[in-house]
């Protein structure tokens, strides 16, 4: 080999080892840099005419295992999903309290039973009455507090979703820009651009928000897609939009995706709902908690609250206080004075003096449409709510008044007397399955933001009473957040209840059906039981009651949740513990003025209330749970047990996915991570090679000098 060849070899070696030392120094400098993949120098021989001509760097590559990178991305999304869930479960468990402690609903129900047991022993004692009232108020307060807390957690999750969407948009834009740099580096032959590390880091961050997968392209760029193939970064970039907040409807908006041309900034095609395309990641975990777990918990809590109100209100209305109260203020029934009365059976309204002795007895036979006073000849009344109220007011005469306004029936006694109501034993008054006093809520124990009685007693032929122009907006959503059907129903003049139900069925096009039952309740059935119906808005109003159609019939999942919202002891009872109905009126067709109908120390009503603790109740389906029969305490216990199981499942999934992620990261680190020992070895090797090449240059220089001295 000529001296020039030796010189060329030495120079190529110097240059190559210099570059190799640069790469090694870069590895050492970034040993603690998050997401950095070590660079590997690949050498190749140079040749000229088939002869060795030195050494060169074939490529500088990032040490990446594509399988491990894919596994780390998938594990990161799954881990973030369950991390988000367990974080919220931790807060929820703290709010619920454990069964058996002082704050849990199971404990509150037990406390009510204990307080009523004491009231049975001494029903007229102020201490017993106050103790029972405190127990009822604690139970009601826990219902209301839990409802508000669960709503707060849903709103918190929603705010986190909004922040995550903003972050995802930023990362999508960042990946697009890094794609451009990666393509430029690939075009120039560079395979170790810093943009590649930054892009991988951005991809991992995006994968923790939204489950994604990537597809490398030949030009050095990558296509980023959701796990079902929806493009986020490619020839177009995704722009996610989310307004956030549920408002009073309880319907949280969907995340939407619009494809944008990055060169022009213009939208390509139409926006689509993005929620169904999210398979994992933090956003998926938050959406599941907000729209499934927490929503179901709120609904089950509402079912329990409603059944608690129905059970205690039914018995409290069948009881009476001692002395009987001077006035009975009903609830807003949503009825109008012109509505058909639709009651069957019989009831008796008694006016008593403060000692519990009968002053006047008013007997009502709803089937016959008659009313009589103190056993006198019956007189007929018009079979409407207003017609009956007028007849009752006339029957009370100087002993009291009856009025009906804005859906509320109000009764009062005059002259310091009180009122007691008792349905007939053989043929009790009945409208939609409720007794007279219970239906109108004249002696309710509990109240809530939404009527607990959904059996309205209305029939299909009854006028709807809804003002023309009012509109209901319905949304049917599937478990993945996709919208199955959206529809609006606008009320027109003269519509009957049946017409409104038919309009609902037409609007939903078979995806959801509605049927009016004989008791005036509305049954809703989705073609897919997993779907949920939400009333996003309802401007309908039933006359002066102001009650909307959806509120009156409990239409939509939000109405079920609202049963526990604002749950409280009836204001009249809360203001006066003596209004607790611990007695029962003893009255029949033979009772005459002066007879005792309720006495001091009567605990029959308190005992009946106490027995509700062991009475089996019929719970409707709600919150993902099937309809079933159980006691109030058993349903409350299963409510806690169900959430505890879901919490344990989420924690187990979190542990498994965190372990999976750590294992993937550990293995990836073994491939891509920088080993200081290895880099120091490489540095020593390259230094020695550099020194040897430099010595070769010295030798060549000496040889050239010697040759130049030869004459």
State the average pLDDT over residues 583-588. 95
pLDDT value of residue 703? 80
Q: How high is the mean pLDDT of the chain?
A: 92
- 229-233, 374-378, 649-653, 661-665: least confident range: 661-665
Q: How does pLDDT run across 244-303, given as a tens digit for each residue?
A: 887 666 788 889 999 999 888 899 989 999 999 999 999 999 999 999 999 999 999 999
Q: Which residue has the higher pLDDT, 73 or 13?
A: 73
Tokens (6 digits) for 617: 């109740």
pLDDT value of residue 66? 82
Is the Cα torsion angle 131, 137, 142, 145 positive or negative in sign? negative
Asked if 562 contacts 461 with a C-beta cutoff of 8 angstroms, the reply is no
711 — pLDDT class (breaks 50, 70, 90): low
Q: How does pLDDT run across 379-398, given as a tens digit for each residue?
A: 999 999 999 999 999 999 99
pLDDT value of residue 46? 82
DSSP label of 529: T
DSSP string covering 206-253, please? HHHHS-EEEEE-TTS-EEEEETT--EEESSSEEEEE-----GGGT-PP
Q: How does pLDDT run across 441-480, given as a tens digit for each residue?
A: 999 999 998 899 999 999 999 999 999 999 999 999 888 8
CA 63 – CA 192 distance, rounded (Å): 10
Is pLDDT of 151 > 60?
A: yes
Q: Which residue has the higher pLDDT, 633 or 103?
A: 633
pTM score, whole prediction: 0.89
- 34-38, 191-195, 530-534, 677-681: least confident range: 191-195
- 53-67, 168-182, 388-402, 583-597: least confident range: 53-67
Report the percentage of the chain scoring pLDDT > 70.
98
Is pLDDT of 1 > 60?
A: no
Query: Given the structure tokens 């959430």, which residue do they identify?
Result: 643
Report the percentage of the chain scoring pLDDT > 90.
70
pLDDT value of residue 335? 97
| Angle formed at CA 707 by CA 706 and CA 710, multiple of 5 degrees | 95
State the average pLDDT over residues 637-648. 94
CA 660 – CA 656 distance, rounded (Å): 6
pLDDT value of residue 100? 66
State the average pLDDT over residues 57-71. 81
pLDDT value of residue 248? 67
Is pLDDT of 228 > 70?
A: yes
């Amino acid at each position: 080999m000529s001296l020039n060849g030796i010189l060329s070899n030495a120079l190529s070696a110097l240059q190559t080892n210099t570059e190799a030392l640069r790469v090694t120094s870069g590895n050492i400098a970034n040993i603690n840099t998050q997401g950095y993949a070590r660079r590997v120098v690949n050498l190749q021989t140079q040749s000229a005419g088939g002869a060795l001509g030195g050494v060169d760097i074939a490529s500088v590559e990032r040490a990446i295992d594509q399988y491990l990178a894919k596994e780390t991305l998938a594990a990161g999304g799954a881990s973030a999903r369950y991390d988000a869930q367990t974080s919220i479960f931790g807060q929820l468990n703290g709010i619920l309290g454990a069964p058996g402690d002082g704050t849990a609903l199971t404990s509150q129900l037990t406390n009510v039973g204990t307080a009523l047991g004491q009231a049975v022993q001494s029903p007229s004692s102020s201490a017993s009455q106050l103790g029972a009232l405190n127990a009822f108020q604690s139970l009601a307060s826990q219902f209301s507090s839990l409802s508000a807390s669960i709503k707060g957690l849903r709103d918190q999750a929603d705010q986190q979703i909004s922040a995550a969407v903003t972050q995802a948009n930023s990362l999508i834009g960042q990946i697009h820009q890094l794609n451009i740099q990666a393509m430029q580096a690939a075009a120039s032959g560079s395979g170790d651009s810093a943009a590649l590390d930054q892009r991988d880091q951005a991809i991992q961050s995006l994968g923790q928000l939204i489950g994604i997968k990537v597809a490398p392209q030949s030009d050095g760029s990558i296509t980023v897609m959701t796990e079902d193939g929806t493009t986020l970064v490619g020839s177009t970039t995704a722009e996610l939009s989310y307004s956030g907040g549920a408002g009073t409807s309880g319907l949280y908006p969907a995340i939407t995706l619009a494809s944008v041309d990055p060169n022009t900034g213009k939208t390509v095609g139409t926006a689509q709902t993005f929620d169904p395309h999210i398979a994992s990641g933090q956003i998926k975990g938050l959406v599941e908690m907000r729209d499934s777990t927490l929503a179901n918990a709120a609904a089950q809590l509402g079912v329990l609250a409603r059944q608690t109100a129905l059970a205690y209100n039914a018995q409290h209305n069948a009881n009476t206080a001692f002395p009987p109260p001077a006035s009975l203020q009903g609830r807003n029934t949503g009825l109008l004075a012109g509505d058909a009365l639709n009651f069957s059976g019989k009831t008796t309204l008694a006016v008593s003096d403060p000692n519990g002795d009968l002053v006047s007895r008013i007997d009502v036979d709803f089937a016959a449409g008659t009313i009589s006073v103190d056993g006198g000849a019956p007189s007929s009344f018009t079979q409407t709510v207003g017609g009956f109220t007028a007849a009752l007011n006339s029957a009370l005469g100087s002993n009291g008044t009856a009025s009906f306004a804005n859906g509320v029936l109000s009764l009062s006694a005059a002259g310091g007397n009180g009122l007691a109501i008792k349905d007939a034993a053989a043929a009790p008054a009945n409208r939609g399955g409720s007794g007279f006093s219970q239906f109108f809520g004249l002696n309710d124990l509990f109240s809530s933001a939404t009527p607990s009685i959904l059996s309205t007693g209305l029939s299909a032929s009854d006028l709807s009473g809804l003002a023309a122009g009012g509109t209901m907006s319905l949304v049917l959503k599937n478990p993945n957040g996709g919208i199955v059907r959206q529809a609006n129903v606008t009320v027109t003049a003269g519509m009957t209840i049946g017409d409104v139900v038919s309009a609902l069925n037409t609007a939903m096009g078979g995806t959801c059906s509605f049927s009016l039952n004989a008791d005036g309740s509305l049954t809703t059935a989705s073609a897919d039981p997993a779907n949920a119906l939400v009333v996003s808005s309802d401007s309908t109003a039933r006359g002066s009651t102001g009650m909307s159609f959806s509120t009156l019939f409990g239409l939509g999942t939000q109405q079920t949740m609202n049963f526990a919202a604002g749950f409280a002891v009836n204001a009249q009872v809360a203001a006066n513990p003596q209004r607790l109905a611990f007695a029962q009126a003893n009255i029949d067709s033979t009772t005459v003025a002066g007879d005792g109908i309720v006495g001091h120390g009567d605990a029959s009503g308190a005992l009946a209330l106490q027995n509700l603790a062991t009475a089996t109740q019929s719970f409707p389906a709600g919150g993902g749970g099937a309809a079933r029969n159980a006691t109030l305490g058993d349903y409350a216990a299963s409510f806690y047990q169900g959430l505890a199981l879901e919490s344990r499942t989420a924690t187990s999934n979190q542990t498994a996915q965190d372990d999976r992620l750590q294992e993937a990261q550990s293995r990836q680190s073994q491939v891509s991570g920088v080993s200081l020992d290895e880099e120091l070895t490489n540095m020593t090797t390259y230094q020695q090679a550099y020194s040897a090449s430099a010595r070769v240059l010295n030798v060549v220089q000496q040889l050239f000098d010697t040759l130049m001295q030869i004459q």
